């Protein structure tokens, strides 16, 4: 890593690396979901695409999506409808760029990267809102409304949980937080970790928080009218979201690159921990039923927000009593 590159070349290379990670990691998570979910349900999952245990299933799906007709409903708001998938997708690309795999392996170093990640994830919901409203479809609109209500409710506990970690580390930089982590945090930040995981699931609209999609009642929520590549972008956004949230959880609460042989393979540890979190996300999807809308709101405001505030309090006490 002592290579000295021209600044522009380094920027291009970093952007390229982030883009590759952005395209590969969600597919990896998607394939893992295919297989883990299948085996948890006593199935095999995809077995043919690519030859070995269907490893290329998502590639095949991508090819299929490209071939499909790109339909815009006649009464839709055309520009907004067409723009929405990108609005949903790009924030996760930006978020992935600033999440460090190790202090050295990071797309872009930003001072307040935690705030940046939280901010752009919040922007992602606008894509869903735009999609839902511009589709001129009642199911889409219902889905978008549910998504917005859910996001507004769960953003608060999530920000509070992250604030607790930032407070404990004394910095808003993800690299700084990762460096400040020590195993005691597993206990100290446990309530915050739970709050973060639950609200991350809710922000991703993953089961059991998939009320905005709820295919058994509102078709596919905001994405009902989408076909082809635009629909694929929404799906990619969902899985990129899982990647971002899992890596974020790994860095914030599981110590990211801390582990044996850290100087050399720190980034592997981060990836491994993030992957484990992603598997947990999939596991929860398989195991738990969908929550009702009122239960969702109740969980956020009655349980998560107080829990996050409690975590903030014990973090503050910890910071004052055991100053570093």
Partner 1 sequence: MGDGILPGLVKGLGTTARSLTRRTHTAEYPDVAPALPPRSRGVIALTEENCTSCMLCARECPDWCIYIDSHKEELPPTTPGGRARQRNVLDRFAIDFSLCMYCGICIEACPFDALHWSPEFEYAETDIRDLLHEKDRLGAWMATVPPPPALDPGSVDPAEVTAAAKPPRGAAGAGPRAGSAPRAGAGAPGRTRGDGPAARPTRVRPESPAGSDRAAGSLQGASAAAPERPAADRAVDATKPMPALGDTGSPAAEGDSTQVLPEVTPDEEGRE
Partner 2 sequence: MTTRDIVFVAVGVVTALSALLSVTTKHVVHAALWLLVSLGSLAGAYLVLGQELVGLVQLLVYVGAIVVLVLFALMLTRAPIGPHAEIDTPWWQRAAGAVLGAATTALLASLLLPLLSGATVDLDAPAATTPRIAQAVFGTWVWPFELLSVLLLVALVGAFAVSRLVLHREDPAADGAVRRAEGVRR
Query: Does position 55 bind partner 1 by CB under 8 A?
Result: no
Query: Does position 167 bind partner 2 by CB under 8 A?
Result: no
Residues 21-60, one symbol each (x = binds partner 2 by CB under 8 A, - = not), give: ----------------------------------------
Rounded Cα gap, residues 107 and 16, in angstroms = 9
CB 158 within 8 A of CB 245: no
Query: Does position 303 bind partner 1 by CB under 8 A?
Result: yes
Residues 57-76, one symbol each (x = binds partner 2 by CB under 8 A, - = not), give: ------------------xx
Q: Which does 134 bind (CB under 5 to 8 A by kind): partner 2, partner 1, none?
A: partner 2
- Footprint of partner 2 on residues 168-187 (CB under 8 A)? 172
CB atoms inside a 10 Å sphere around CB 286 = 14
- Footprint of partner 2 on residues 80-109 (CB under 8 A)? 80
Rounded Cα gap, residues 17 and 42, in angstroms = 37
Rounded Cα gap, residues 105 and 102, in angstroms = 5
Alpha helix locations (H) across the chain?
7-40, 57-67, 78-98, 113-134, 138-169, 174-180, 185-188, 190-204, 228-253, 262-287, 293-298, 305-321
Query: Does position 77 bind partner 2 by CB under 8 A?
Result: yes
Three-state DSSP state, 222 = helix
Number of residues that bind partner 1 (CB under 8 A): 18
- Select from 28, 148, 219, 268 the one that contacts partner 2 (CB under 8 A): 148
CB 90 within 8 A of CB 144: no
Query: Does position 125 bind partner 2 by CB under 8 A?
Result: yes
- Footprint of partner 1 on residues 251-290 (CB under 8 A)? 283-284, 286-288
Q: Which of 160, 131, 106, 313 is nearest to 226 (CA)?
A: 131
Report, in angstroms and rounded to the nearest whole number, the Rg of the chain calculated over CA atoms.
20
Instruction: Enumerate binding residues for partner 2 (CB under 8 A).
Output: 75-77, 80, 110-112, 115-116, 118-123, 125-126, 129-130, 132-134, 136, 141, 144-145, 148-149, 151-152, 155, 159, 172
Instruction: Enumerate binding residues for partner 1 (CB under 8 A).
Output: 36, 38-44, 47, 283-284, 286-288, 298-299, 302-303
């Amino acid at each position: 890593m002592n290579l000295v590159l021209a600044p522009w070349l380094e920027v291009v290379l970093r952007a390229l690396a982030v883009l590759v990670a952005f395209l590969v990691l969600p597919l990896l998570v998607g394939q893992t979901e295919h297989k883990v979910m299948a085996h948890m349900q006593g199935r095999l999952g995809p077995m043919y695409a690519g030859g070995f245990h269907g490893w290329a299933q998502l590639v095949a799906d991508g090819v299929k999506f490209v071939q499909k007709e790109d339909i815009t409903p006649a009464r839709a708001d055309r520009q907004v409808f067409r723009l929405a998938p990108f609005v949903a997708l790009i924030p996760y690309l930006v978020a992935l760029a600033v999440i460090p795999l190790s202090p050295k392996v990071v797309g872009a170093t930003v001072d307040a990267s935690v705030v940046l990640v939280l901010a752009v994830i919040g922007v992602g919901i606008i894509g869903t809102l735009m999609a839902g409203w511009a589709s001129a479809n009642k199911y889409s609109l219902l889905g978008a409304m549910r998504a917005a209500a859910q996001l507004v409710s769960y953003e608060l506990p999530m920000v509070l949980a992250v604030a607790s970690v930032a407070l404990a580390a004394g910095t808003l930089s993800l690299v700084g937080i990762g460096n400040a982590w020590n195993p005691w945090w597993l206990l100290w930040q446990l309530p915050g970790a739970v709050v973060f995981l639950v609200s991350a699931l809710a922000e991703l609209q993953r089961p059991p928080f998939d009320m905005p999609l709820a295919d058994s009642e509102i078709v596919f929520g905001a994405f009902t009218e989408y076909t082809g590549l635009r629909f694929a972008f929404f799906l990619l956004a969902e899985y990129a979201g899982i990647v971002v949230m899992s890596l974020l959880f790994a860095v914030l609460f599981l110590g990211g690159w801390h582990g044996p042989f850290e100087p050399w393979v720190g980034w592997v540890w981060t990836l491994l921990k993030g992957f484990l979190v992603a598997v947990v996300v999939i596991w929860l999807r398989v195991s738990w039923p969908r929550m009702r809308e009122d239960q969702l709101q109740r969980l956020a405001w009655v349980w998560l927000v107080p829990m996050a505030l409690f975590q903030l309090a014990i973090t503050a006490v910890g910071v004052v009593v055991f100053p570093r």
